[in-house]
Structure 1
């Protein structure tokens, strides 16, 4: 689906990939409804939109709240008149801890934002998409949704759920006007840890980790996601690390699991 002239809803539009998606879609002639839990972050996005801010509406909402999500379609349609696309981008990571050391509050929060938030948004907006002659749903999973990352096991389980949820929707919607894409970003240079309330490893460990994995700029990630959307691609691997690990995981899941453990073990507490 070409985005020019379309109305696209983007969750997590206040920062990171979500903000870059909003700005890119605006430059390509789309109208955008940016959803985020942080009103100040949304206002920063509006400021960055500059002269295109008239094409943009902002919606402060907690996507884990079903009632708040249920109210969004009417709000977006009131402003834009229709909804042609939805990009479920909002997500958080978990503290870098083994499952045995992770409290239930953190487990619930990660599942609610990453998995249930995506489900709630999709279920509420899907009837709007089905009414349009050409529509598109994009769900952002993660490299961690197909590859086990130690210290991010619950996050990975949530993103694996997003993967299968999206693939199921693709099959359910094959005979409709709604195209479906699932996205697997690798390491992206965003503030997802801080926005998730997660404290990373010590500076020395973080520096060592960053020397191994070069994050992709979020603007480049957004470009790849929108290109995948416009090309109606089934799946989009964002970053060379995601493409490499997807390949080796399909060749040997156990070798891939051992490899990523060696790369990430310094982020785990003793």
Structure 2
């Protein structure tokens, strides 16, 4: 059984076109690298009704993990945690560990002369107001801690929207907690093909995957260069039953199936 992930990206700037949603790409890449499966993603505005609606969709789905990026900062429109609190009926409270993380971080910024002084303002305390029983996640890059909430059978992770902060917490705090031994890991291989169009390749792939369970092959056209078609082919092995030797054998058979004409080249 695959462990399923859903991702919620929050921010008006993502839907206005001002900011590229690089966090979504990073999260998907990091999860795929360890063999996990992202089933859905949502991009929504800084709006409590929207946040609550999408969170309820994810809670009622078959996902195991919900990863949310954005809305953890000190400003009025950073409302992710308050929306989670109201939606899941988990009261907000000062989390002493999160508060200590924030104090330590700002104290360090003063020592490094990045800021002149530090006082524990209401805006800074806001970043330590977490839903009841939350686990704060250390932010080594910024000031707002990430948050892990275990709710029913779900793991809900809240990460800052700033890409470097998000990635740091994801790599150092979140990924190590995912027990990949309990899932079917997805292994992938990439082939680079020239000399054949995608429409010519499609029936070959269709025939090849017939009666081959847990094998997914996706073609990505890369355009025409010097009058030659270029295609990237991603082969995903979606089960632990695929040993390295079996994968190599399948790839060898696939290459043979593709090279129906002498001008077709396939590189790994």
**TM-score of the superposition, structure 1-length normalised?**
0.26
TM-score (norm 2): 0.26
Higher helix share: 1
